[in-house]
Amino acid sequence: MNKIVLTEPNAKLMLIENAYIKDDTIYLNEENLKNIFYPTMYKAWHNWIIEHIQFEKETKDTPKEENSKILFIFDSFGWSSYYHLLIDTIIPVWITKQIIFQYLQKTFKKEDTYFLKISDNFTTNELKTSNEIFEYFIGNSYTKRICGNFKYIVYGYCYNHRPAPAPDEIKRYYPKYKFMLDNFCSIYRLDIKIEEPYILLPLRSDRNYVDIYKLYELLSKNYKVVTVDFSNYSIQEQIEISNGAWALVGSEGAAFSNQIFMKKGSLIICIAEKYNFHSSLSEYLEHRFFNIIPNENSFEKILDIIKIS
């Protein structure tokens, strides 16, 4: 089987057939070995993440058995927030899973599909339920250590888009990523009837660039506004809450990842002191995005944008 190489954007993917993994080492036959390269699964803001898996020739001691299992090996930029978990890890893994199944022209039983997360970058304890969220979207939980024979090992992921973190970076647009992102989002954009769609105002304990409660008071005079602390809700509840909103307004943060569950053309107003990367995601989602710099005129600008929307 020929290896798959997908390099847009900044990612390569390798498919290995009939291999054995143990102690972070993949043992390959001679045919696979000559085609091996080290794929880069994610381009960080400043440095490339080092490779975590070694590749070795198979030895006579390597166990051999027929099986139908498939293993996905993926990296993660960091799970320090819900945003990084969902946008930087779950969606690329989901896309890769769909593409590989399509390429192999087969599906795999849940019990024969495994996911190995090989690193954490900027890891914190903020997301205690990260594996539950991962399983919600991917259909399986992940592990950090695994051993055994696999029919297929998928190393890396494709179509990972990390929006530019600074204005001086070249902003690129990837149509293929948009196509796959649309497929992902279509599953979770619920077809529910909302009597009165609302403006969603996320609350957070830190990084509040403006007085959110003052903003709520101003908006509530003419619009239905719902305040929410997403950390108090399950992922299903977050999806439902986001589905009912026609606008998302607030201080920059992980809550803006939930814009992927809002209907296309929604209004996204992000308050941030610096350039923020949520604009790129909004562009893929076909939302109307506005970045507001916090100052004495912030509320006036927000009201003007909402008024004409």
Per-residue pLDDT for 45 more than 60? no
Residue 307, token pair as written in the block = 């008024």
User: 199-307 domain in CATH 3.40.50.720?
Assistant: yes
Q: Is the distance from CB of 143 to CB of 131 less than 8 angstroms?
A: no
Q: Where are the domains of the chain?
A: 14-155, 199-307
pLDDT at position 239 over 90: yes
Residue range 54-63, pLDDT digits in tens: 666 665 555 5
- Biggest CA–CA distance in the chain, Å, is 75
Residues 68 and 149 sit within 8 Å (Cβ to Cβ): no
Looking at the chain, the number of H-run helices and the number of E-run strands are: 9, 11
3-state DSSP assignment of residue 73: strand
- pLDDT at position 58 is 62
CA distance 222 to 244: 18
Tell me how far apart the alpha carbons of residues 158 and 14 are, in angstroms, rounded to a whole number: 10
Residue 207 pLDDT: 66
Nearest CA among 254, 309, 249, 261 for reference residue 285: 261
- Give tens-digit pLDDT for 177-213: 888 899 999 998 876 677 789 999 998 766 677 888 9
> How many other CB atoms sit within 10 Å of the CB of residue 263?
18
CA distances from 51 to 37, 73, 155, 165 (A): 11, 12, 11, 23
